[in-house]
Structure 1
Amino acid sequence: MKNYRSKILILITVLNLGSETAFGLQQDQIQTDKVDKDSTTLPKPYATESKVNHSNVIGWVEGKMPIAPSGFKVMRFADGFNNPRWIYMAPNGDLFISESSTSPNSANQITVLRDSDKDGKYDVREIFLSNQNKPFGMLVLGNYFYVANTDALMRYPYKEGQKNISETGTKILDLPAGGYNNHWTRNIITSPDGKKILISVGSGSNNGENGMDKEIRRANILEINPDGSGEKVYASGLRNPVGMQYYPGSNALWTAVNERDELGDELVPDYITSVKRDGFYGWPYAYFGKNEDPRMKGQRPDLVQKTLIPDVNLGAHTASLGMAFYAHKTFPTTYHNGVFVGQHGSWNRSELVGYKVIFVPFKDGKPSGKPVDFLTGFIDDPKKSRVHGRPVGVVVIGDGSLLVADDVSNVIWQVSVAK
């Protein structure tokens, strides 16, 4: 009888494990050993030729869409946008989409989507705010709606549930405009206590080639008071920090950083990292720790020695921009408190890389495994550098599903658990 009970317990355990890994990432796909960031081995600069290889976007034909792991479904959540670059979910669940680009025909507007009857589908779609200058980051804080344009932080009076804003708003902070390789985006988030606003500002060059006097207040995360006063540099040496979020339930700030180009196919890796106040992360003098950039050799050995090693290597030229921690319970436990990262894709690599959403598992507030693919299928033909779309902004919404902004195909994709 004892042996029989043991067999039953083993069978139940196997079945339970099977139900957990029957969809989503299999347990053997995620290495859950401690991630040793100090052990990252990088090739030497110029180990391979630096190549220009821009992708050709063909869009999505009917019936074609990105691919998620088994057990998930992908659907068009919304389309018909004009370069939907970023998605922000307000405290009341409203979704704000910034539509902007470097094109002369940039929409320069923000659209709001609302699910009034809470059936999982939006039933309100309005142009919330227009006549902006390359808007990107958005934030509701107190009775204000903030918009981070490429050259300024704007603040507008706001009431929950508003469908549009017609006021001119107030410019509370000038921001450095322009930028190499589309470093025009400015993201904003609030500190957990709501007392500070953080602003990400990318560099104005690849590796400081225009002179560091042109990089004042750039390649930084800035910190201000909600009225625009009291500006400080929170962290520096971050070439293009775009995604920013606090780890769920903590004061630990994380960011996704798009690193420099023209050192070869495998340099320099993009990364996500926890951000230390007053920390220096290398740009433009060093990368991934004390690896000196040969183009800046000998210029600032003091800063090379100060350079912090980022937490997770996401691969060179992947254009890792969007990030969203998964603080819900709808997806399998494998995903709980891990982070999704939108990789916009390469232009400076002999073969395309990125063009997908990846997932990094976390445990106890720290990365617990290597990045794995989550949403793929954006690359159509790698030999012809042909792609369907380019994922960028990612956000987890109230029902626990993941939204992904595909800015060149003007679609927002939704990934949810298949029922």
Structure 2
Amino acid sequence: MIRMLMSTVALAGLVAATNAFAQGDDNMTKLRGMQSTGTSMDFRTIEQTGDYADQLRSNLENVKLPSGFKIELYAVVPDARHIAIGPQGVVTFVGTRKQDVWAVTDRDKNRVADEVKQFAPSIDFAIPNGVCFSDDGFLYLAEQNRVLVLPAAEFFYESPDVAVDEIVPKGELVPTSEESFNHTARVCRIGPDDKLYVSLGQPFNVPPTEKAGLYERTGIGGIIRMNRDGSGREVFARGVRNSVGMQFNPANGDLWFTDNQVDGMGDDIPPGELNRATEAGQNFGFPWYGGGTVRTNEYKDAEVPADVVQPEVEMAAHAADLGMDFYTGTSFPQKYRGGIFSAQHGSWNRTQPVGARVMFTPVNEDGTAGETEAFAEGWLTDSGEYIGRPVDVAVMKDGSLLVSDDLAGAIYRISYDD
């Protein structure tokens, strides 16, 4: 009887899941045809006041910043990961490593969000971490194994139904055989060439040699680029273990990106990386190097490609460098203008944890990196407890800096007042 009951429950669950997937596919078909899906207007919203928000504000008292800067709670956003600020300044979209994308609005422009609600509930998302905008208002969304484009997202966000298209259909970003639970938080950017760039982290700590050919062809363990309609896909950069942050230098068009390096080699090796790609086709050394010039055990006897590009900056080992942005504002002091802010999520593979902070790297006139320094830190307490884990940074139109935190489920705003 128990076995029969369990079988019945399992079958019911399978049917329900199948119906849910079918409903999701049906919705996508309707949305692509500009048809209503009938999804409820009763959006899921997140409370922005109360004990939880008050505690987050209290936690920020631990964060240390240079003189003249302050940090405040901008929004409570569950599982907040990568940030895309709308070109019109109306809505900020926030991806997650789960199934939600959030629309964050500051309607009265007092620099604190008034509303956080689920974006496009008629679409079934799968790890919608990567959100990025084109200058002309198209929102791109890089999922685990699909890329969507949402025209006029800042206009349609008030509705459960949105204009959408699949520019890389489900199952075609990477081969389905390579879908993994690990290293599948994609990020994207529109380049100065008006093409879409997407990072494809490979799923292993160090991949087996038999995967090399497949990864080389598909761009897994690298960065790919394509036309904005999904055509013309090519591999832009190789030798990248798992990049979860990239941005183009507006001064010269170079693509900079963070990279998370090999675990299990010790507390202090290998270093994390901040890299600079100056042209297409460059190789950044993985898996021959685990980070910097530290050779991996698995490939220590293999010949290293002659054209490997070493990182611009070696970061603290295992600090988990993620999202980054160039500072294009004017409200921060001159030393920060044109430089890079980047988020360190914090270590798991270290006996003494490090990270959970925002770093700053100046960029020299010749396009190279200056000396990196800690800019905002304090989410890792002296006792080794995380009270927050920064993921991404984004420069707002007023020159302030947003910082996402997927542990606390929050977006913070850093501003300067001399």
Q: TM-score, normalised by structure 1?
A: 0.77
1:70 aligned onto 2:67: yes
Q: Which residue of 2 aligns with 1:396?
A: 395
Give matches, 1:2-401, under 5 Å.
63-65=58-60, 66-79=63-76, 81-101=77-97, 106=98, 108-130=99-121, 131-141=124-134, 142=136, 144-158=138-152, 160-164=154-158, 166-167=161-162, 169-173=164-168, 174-176=172-174, 178-179=179-180, 182-194=182-194, 196-209=195-208, 211-212=210-211, 215=215, 216-275=218-277, 276-287=279-290, 291-299=294-302, 301-303=303-305, 305-364=306-365, 366-382=367-383, 385-401=384-400
The structural deviation recorded for 1:120 is 3.0
- Alpha-carbon distance in structure 2 between the residues aligned to 1:168 and 1:334: 41
- Alpha-carbon distance in structure 2 between the residues aligned to 1:199 and 1:368: 23
The structural deviation recorded for 1:290 is 5.5
The 3 A distance-change label for structure 1 pair 350 and 93 is same
Q: Which residue of 1 aligns with 2:414?
A: 415
Per chain length, whose mean CA-contact separation is higher, i.e. which structure has more relative contact order (CA < 8 Å, sep 6+)?
A: 1
Q: Does the residue aligned with 2:101 lie in a helix, a strand or coil?
A: strand
The 3 A distance-change label for structure 1 pair 133 and 339 is same
Aligned AA (2:407): V
- Alpha-carbon distance in structure 1 between the residues aligned to 2:304 and 2:385: 43
> Would you tell me which structure has more strand in proportion to its own residues?
1
Q: Which moved more, 1:368-377 or 1:222-231?
A: 368-377
Q: Which residue of 1 aligns with 2:4?
A: none
The structural deviation recorded for 1:118 is 4.0
Aligned AA (1:403): L
Q: Does the residue aligned with 2:350 lie in a helix, a strand or coil?
A: coil
Aligned AA (2:105): R
Q: Does the residue aligned with 2:282 lie in a helix, a strand or coil?
A: coil
Q: Does the residue aligned with 1:386 lie in a helix, a strand or coil?
A: coil
Aligned residues: 349
Q: Does the residue aligned with 1:296 lie in a helix, a strand or coil?
A: coil
Q: Does the residue aligned with 1:100 lie in a helix, a strand or coil?
A: coil
Q: Does the residue aligned with 1:256 lie in a helix, a strand or coil?
A: strand
Q: TM-score, normalised by structure 2?
A: 0.77
- Alpha-carbon distance in structure 1 between the residues aligned to 2:155 and 2:252: 28
User: Are the equivalent residues in 2 in contact too, given 1:120–1:399 (CA < 8 A)?
Assistant: no
Query: Please, what is the CA RMSD of the aligned residues?
Result: 2.4
Can you list the C-alpha shifts for 1:154-174, whole angstroms capped at 9, x where unaligned? 123426433245148332212
- Alpha-carbon distance in structure 2 between the residues aligned to 1:84 and 1:125: 11
- Alpha-carbon distance in structure 2 between the residues aligned to 1:140 and 1:359: 23
Aligned AA (1:243): G
The structural deviation recorded for 1:98 is 3.0
The 3 A distance-change label for structure 1 pair 145 and 118 is same
Q: Does the residue aligned with 2:71 lie in a helix, a strand or coil?
A: strand
Can you list the C-alpha shifts for 1:85-138, whole angstroms capped at 9, x where unaligned? 11111211244343423xxxx3x1222223345443444543222321010112
Aligned AA (1:175): L
- Alpha-carbon distance in structure 2 between the residues aligned to 1:76 and 1:391: 13
Can you list the C-alpha shifts for 1:199-257, whole angstroms capped at 9, x where unaligned? 01111101114842574531110010111111100000011112111112331111111
Aligned AA (1:295): E
The structural deviation recorded for 1:60 is 5.3
The structural deviation recorded for 1:272 is 1.0
User: Are the equivalent residues in 2 in contact too, given 1:329–1:336 (CA < 8 A)?
Assistant: yes
- Alpha-carbon distance in structure 2 between the residues aligned to 1:212 and 1:60: 47
Aligned AA (2:104): L
Q: Which residue of 2 aligns with 1:22?
A: none
- Alpha-carbon distance in structure 2 between the residues aligned to 1:209 and 1:156: 37
Q: Which moved more, 1:373-382 or 1:404-413?
A: 373-382
Can you list the C-alpha shifts for 1:303-343, whole angstroms capped at 9, x where unaligned? 2x332111011111010001011111211111111111100
The 3 A distance-change label for structure 1 pair 211 and 265 is farther
- Alpha-carbon distance in structure 2 between the residues aligned to 1:289 and 1:375: 25
Q: Does the residue aligned with 1:362 lie in a helix, a strand or coil?
A: coil
Q: Does the residue aligned with 1:363 lie in a helix, a strand or coil?
A: coil
Aligned AA (1:154): L
- Alpha-carbon distance in structure 2 between the residues aligned to 1:372 and 1:295: 32
The structural deviation recorded for 1:140 is 3.2
The 3 A distance-change label for structure 1 pair 332 and 290 is closer
Q: Does the residue aligned with 1:212 lie in a helix, a strand or coil?
A: helix
Can you list the C-alpha shifts for 1:133-160, whole angstroms capped at 9, x where unaligned? 0101123335643211111111234264
- Alpha-carbon distance in structure 2 between the residues aligned to 1:232 and 1:62: 45
Aligned AA (2:132): L
